[in-house]
């Protein structure tokens, strides 16, 4: 069973999602730039700690005057020309500066014995390593926190976006898939924006700075290595593409599984009642097998890619050792320079391997980011006016002016050319067979949907011109399926408002005929009702919903089949609570049980999306139309 989200066309893998993620990180510029600077410090101090072994190896075994860095005649000539101000090619100028450092170092140890020189050099290693550790710790803090803040912002944006999207988005997409976007995909992206990002920055600085020193030591050997490695590393790039595809498939299968499990848990009573266990097990096995295949591919490619990189690195090292031995035997390279080159080359193999892993992770993050931005880029169908009017209630009339509505993706109108005017303070009942358009009619009032044709006017002003927040705060809704949060009864009545006094909560519960059963509970108003109010009966949940409406005192009320699923005793108590709530308000009642509508000021009879009859109870019975037929189906007329 494929969801609408899975059928949507996805853009190809690209860097754009990663660039958009970067905008979230760049909000914390100071932390990022501080982290980058400290990462550079880490790279330079690490380079110093490695290059200091060059003079140590040169000094080892010496019995006479110590020369930390051998300086050739051509090198010395270029250095002297550079000192005299002669302009040299850029690479020669860099070499001349490097030669100057070697000359200065040789002069520094000229008066020292080999043992003293080695001891002095070893003492330099400790402060350098301390500085490296300090820089690494601080760069981890600055970049890590910037990435973590960015992930926090992305989650907030996602949550705010979900609050802005219309009901149609949630009705078309499965809950588990939406949850997977907010939890799994954001978590995957979070790895690449925090710790992994810091490691990638440090590794890149390692590679760049250490390659420069390798070029200064022997640009010929470095050039040979750089020419050979891309050829040998080509298979790794193919694995990176496969990893990206596998990661995208894995996240999609995780979302599919989350949606399926959520659906199973929510519908467990139906599954048990109709013995659907085998059928649902088969569906789960199919999804689980798809997830297994994508997960295995992702893990396999993720491990094989670095292994190939390591093999290439070993091959390069073996070739280098042979070449280095040849250079030393010919006197072209000193022991210290060779071992320094070797140590640095070995060291940057790990950063290069880590960068290849990071590239793979970025591929997976890119796939996850695409799905995140699918939600963030979703255009809400319900848009508030630029300068919305305040809504305080209905003073005159609510008018449906030639209103039509069609659900997204449907070929037929749920409402067609509805025209009706409701006066303030009236109680209007809406009846009709299932699918007649009753619930759609009332869903337009709080702007859960907007009409696809015509308009709704309140006191002569377009419904779209009012503030959405004001509108929904002042329209109370009690539905057949009451949603209660896994919180206390008090919190479910107040809906999180902590400014409401206890006596007001009790007054609302008494008016809703709920105080008696609440007081009978062990913890009273502090009783936790369980998920979706599972600890309460249907009638008790309805009375809690009515208590909410009484407490918030909205001027407009909507009852959507609020008593249709209750037994006679519960219906009587809920109906009494409703009668208390009707006084002085504009009320819309959607009902299947016609016993609840007989006292209404007007009854609207709907059929196939149109209002076909209107009047009070007695006049509609006398007409002998659809209302009379519906009434006769429920009652025997004497």
Q: Which of 236, 483, 177, 524 is nearest to 358 (CA)?
A: 236
518-544: pLDDT as tens digits:
888 888 888 888 777 777 877 788 888
The pLDDT score that the predictor gives to residue 70 is: 64
Place of tokens 């696809």: 452
Q: Which of 228, 576, 626, 582 is nearest to 427 (CA)?
A: 582
460-509: pLDDT as tens digits:
899 999 988 888 888 888 877 777 888 888 888 888 677 888 888 888 88
Residues 432 and 438: their CA atoms lie apart, in Å, by 7
The pLDDT score that the predictor gives to residue 3 is: 41
The pLDDT score that the predictor gives to residue 419 is: 93
Domain range annotation of the chain: 4-68+109-376, 397-634
Average pLDDT, the chain: 79
Contacts of 63 (CB under 8 A, 6+ apart): 114
pLDDT exceeds 90 at position 400: yes
Helix (H, G, I), strand (E, B) or coil at 539: helix
pLDDT exceeds 70 at position 562: no
The least confident of 37-46, 153-162, 275-284 is: 275-284
pLDDT exceeds 50 at position 637: no
Residues 336 and 577: their CA atoms lie apart, in Å, by 92
Averaging pLDDT over each range in 30-44, 332-346, 558-572, which range is the top one?
30-44
DSSP label of 130: H
Q: How much of the chain, in percent, has pLDDT values that exceed 90? A: 8
The pLDDT score that the predictor gives to residue 8 is: 39
Q: Are 51 and 121 in contact (CB under 8 A)?
A: no
User: Could you confirm whether domain 397-634 is CATH 3.40.50.300?
Assistant: yes
The pLDDT score that the predictor gives to residue 584 is: 76
- Rounded mean pLDDT, 133-145: 89
201: burial class by Cβ within 10 Å (0-12, 13-18, 19+)?
Answer: buried
Per the CATH hierarchy, to which homologous superfamily does domain 4-68+109-376 belong?
A: ABC transporter type 1, transmembrane domain (1.20.1560.10)
The pLDDT score that the predictor gives to residue 405 is: 93
The least confident of 153-157, 165-169, 451-455, 490-494 is: 165-169
Contacts of 126 (CB under 8 A, 6+ apart): none
Continuous segment of H or E residues that includes residue 463? none
Looking at per-residue pLDDT, the higher value among 53 and 83 belongs to: 83
Angle at 501 between CA 498 and CA 502, to 5 degrees: 105
Q: pLDDT tier at 377 (50, 70, 90 boundaries)?
A: confident
204-253: pLDDT as tens digits:
888 888 888 888 777 777 887 777 767 666 666 666 667 667 766 776 77
- Rounded mean pLDDT, 9-14: 40
- Rounded mean pLDDT, 443-452: 90
- Rounded mean pLDDT, 73-99: 78
The pLDDT score that the predictor gives to residue 273 is: 63
Q: Which of 399, 556, 384, 395 is nearest to 473 (CA)?
A: 556
The pLDDT score that the predictor gives to residue 20 is: 84
pLDDT exceeds 60 at position 63: no
114: burial class by Cβ within 10 Å (0-12, 13-18, 19+)?
Answer: middle
Residues 179 and 83: their CA atoms lie apart, in Å, by 67
The pLDDT score that the predictor gives to residue 9 is: 37
590-606: pLDDT as tens digits:
887 777 787 788 999 99
Looking at per-residue pLDDT, the higher value among 456 and 213 belongs to: 456
Contacts of 604 (CB under 8 A, 6+ apart): 420, 428, 429, 430, 431, 441, 611, 613, 614
What is the phi/psi pair of residue 541, to 5°? -65, -40
The least confident of 32-41, 103-112, 440-449 is: 103-112
pTM, full prediction: 0.65
């Amino acid at each position: 069973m494929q969801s609408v989200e899975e059928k949507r066309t996805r853009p190809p893998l690209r860097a754009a999602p990663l660039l958009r993620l970067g905008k979230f990180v760049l909000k914390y510029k100071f932390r990022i730039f501080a982290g980058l600077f400290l990462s550079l410090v880490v790279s330079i101090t690490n380079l110093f700690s490695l290059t200091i072994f060059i003079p140590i190896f040169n000094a080892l075994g010496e019995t006479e005057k110590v020369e930390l860095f051998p300086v050739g005649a051509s090198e010395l000539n270029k250095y002297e020309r550079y000192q005299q101000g002669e302009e040299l090619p850029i690479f020669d100028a860099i070499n001349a500066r490097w030669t100057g450092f070697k000359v200065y170092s040789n002069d520094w140890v000229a008066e020292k014995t080999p043992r003293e020189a080695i001891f002095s050099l070893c003492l330099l290693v400790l402060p350098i390593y301390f500085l490296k550790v300090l820089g690494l710790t601080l760069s981890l803090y600055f970049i890590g926190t910037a990435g973590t803040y960015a992930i926090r912002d992305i989650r907030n944006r996602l949550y705010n976006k979900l609050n802005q999207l219309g009901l149609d988005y949630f009705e078309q997409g499965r809950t588990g898939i939406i949850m997977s976007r907010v939890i799994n995909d954001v978590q995957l992206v979070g790895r690449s924006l925090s710790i992994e990002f810091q490691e990638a920055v440090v590794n890149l600085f390692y590679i760049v700075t250490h390659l420069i020193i390798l070029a200064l030591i022997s640009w010929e050997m470095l050039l040979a290595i750089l020419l050979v490695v891309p050829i040998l590393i080509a298979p790794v790039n193919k694995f990176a593409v496969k990893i990206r595809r596998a990661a995208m498939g894995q996240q999609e299968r995780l979302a599919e599984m989350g949606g399926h499990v959520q659906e199973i848990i929510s519908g467990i009573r139906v599954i048990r009642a109709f013995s659907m266990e085998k059928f649902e097990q088969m569906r789960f096995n199919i999804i689980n097998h798809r997830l297994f295949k994508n997960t295995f591919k992702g893990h396999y490619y993720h491990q094989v890619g670095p292994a190939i990189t390591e093999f290439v690195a070993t091959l390069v090292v073996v070739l280098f050792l042979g070449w280095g031995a040849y250079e030393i035997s010919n006197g072209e390279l000193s022991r210290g320079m060779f071992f320094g080159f070797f140590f640095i080359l070995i060291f940057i193999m790990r950063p290069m391997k880590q960068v290849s892993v990071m590239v793979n992770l970025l591929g997976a993050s890119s796939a996850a980011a695409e799905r995140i931005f699918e939600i963030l880029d979703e255009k809400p169908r319900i848009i508030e006016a630029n300068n919305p009017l305040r809504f305080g209630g209905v003073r005159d009339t609510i008018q449906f002016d030639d209103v039509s509505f069609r659900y997204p993706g449907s070929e037929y109108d749920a409402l067609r050319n509805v025209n009706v005017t409701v006066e303030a303070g009236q109680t209007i009942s809406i009846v009709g067979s299932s699918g007649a358009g009753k619930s759609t009619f009332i869903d337009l009032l709080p702007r859960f949907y907007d009409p696809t044709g015509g308009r709704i006017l309140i006191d002569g002003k377009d419904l779209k011109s009012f503030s959405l927040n004001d509108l929904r705060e002042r329209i109370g809704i009690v539905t057949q399926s009451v949603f209660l949060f896994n919180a206390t009864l008090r919190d479910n009545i107040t809906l999180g408002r902590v400014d409401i006094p206890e006596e007001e909560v009790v007054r609302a519960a008494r008016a809703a005929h709920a105080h008696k059963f609440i007081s009978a509970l062990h913890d009273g108003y502090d009783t936790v009702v369980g998920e979706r109010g599972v600890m309460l009966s249907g009638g008790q949940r309805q009375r809690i919903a009515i208590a909410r409406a009484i407490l918030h005192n909205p001027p407009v009320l909507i009852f959507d089949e609020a008593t249709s699923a209750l037994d006679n005793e519960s219906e009587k108590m809920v109906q009494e609570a409703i009668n208390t709530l009707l006084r002085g308000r504009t009320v819309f009642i959607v009902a299947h049980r016609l016993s609840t509508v007989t006292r209404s000021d007007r009854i609207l009879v709907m059929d196939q999306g149109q209002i076909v009859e209107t009047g009070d109870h007695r006049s509609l019975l006398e007409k002998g139309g659809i209302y009379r037929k519906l009434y006769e189906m429920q009652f025997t007329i004497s």
